[in-house]
Amino acid sequence: MATFSSLSTAISLSNIPKMVPPRRDAILNVHPSSSQFCPRFELNMNRSLFTLFTSCRKPQLRCKPRQRSSVQCLFTGIVEEIGHVKQVGIAEHGGFDLKITAKTVLEGVNLGDSISVNGTCLTVTAFDHQLSEFKVGLAPETLRKTSLVELTAGSPVNLERAVQPISRMGGHFVQGHVDGTGEIISMDPEEDSLWIKVRTSEALLKYIVPKGFIAVDGTSLTVVDVFDEEKAFNFMLVAYTQKNVVIPLKKVGQLVNLEVDILGKYVQRLLSNGAIKPIESP
């Protein structure tokens, strides 16, 4: 599987300028053969989203804002299947498109449905049952904040449909709103289990506690230990989990999406604004 070791050392996505709408004169002067046009979705199958995001100029098209759905997505962190990226590329609206092959998550799918892709809540914009594939759109900000920027054609991804009122809550409340990324710094087997240690920022580490929940690439996991000096935490994957999620397929140095427990963020918010008083020791 393709690695992207230079991402965390040589290039910072936070320094990538935000994409701005084109000027009116630029729109009027566009011609399909113009060099200003980026490749369409069907092209550049072997290029990563990072390459497209950093090196390709935005197509000079008038962008139509997408309507926001009133339905909020919620997941459990129990991965339903591992899909594979089929194509990545530039969308007509100026964002980025991701086409994924899958089977289970296509059952009962409708346009506008939410599917978690490596823990990122994304909206289905097209699907084909005969080809067993669906397409989602990606905003530039999503690529800045998540590990999806590392994806290339063939990359495996965790997939989970949004829960329904009758769904069993097998993991914990996962919103699909990635808080940030972490870097895998060690992967150590112990008999048929696998220990994985992930380094992240202090801003996220303060919400991570031993025996607490965390979503790693959309997988609901239990934190074993927190290492404040290393700015890291670890968790263990049992044999069954290793066969059904993408984390063991990654290598040291690669990124994973992290979403901390929403309850911890609510508590920190209430304490910081004085809504509740901290418990004082006797």
34-80 pLDDT, tens digit each: 333 333 434 444 566 656 555 554 443 333 434 444 345 788 889 99
Q: pTM for this structure?
A: 0.71
Residues of the chain with pLDDT under 70: 1-72, 166-171, 278-282
Single-letter amino acid, residue 261: D
Helix/strand/coil percentages in the chain, nearest 5: 20, 30, 50
The Cα 122–Cα 118 span in angstroms is 10
| pLDDT the model gives residue 272 | 81
| pLDDT the model gives residue 51 | 62
97 CB contacts (<8 Å, ≥6 apart)?
A: 41, 87, 88, 89, 90, 91, 125, 135, 136, 137, 138
Minimal CA–CA distance to 255: which of 151, 200, 184? 184
Minimal CA–CA distance to 115: which of 179, 163, 171, 170? 163
Q: Annotated active-site positions, please?
A: 75, 114, 121, 123, 139, 177, 222
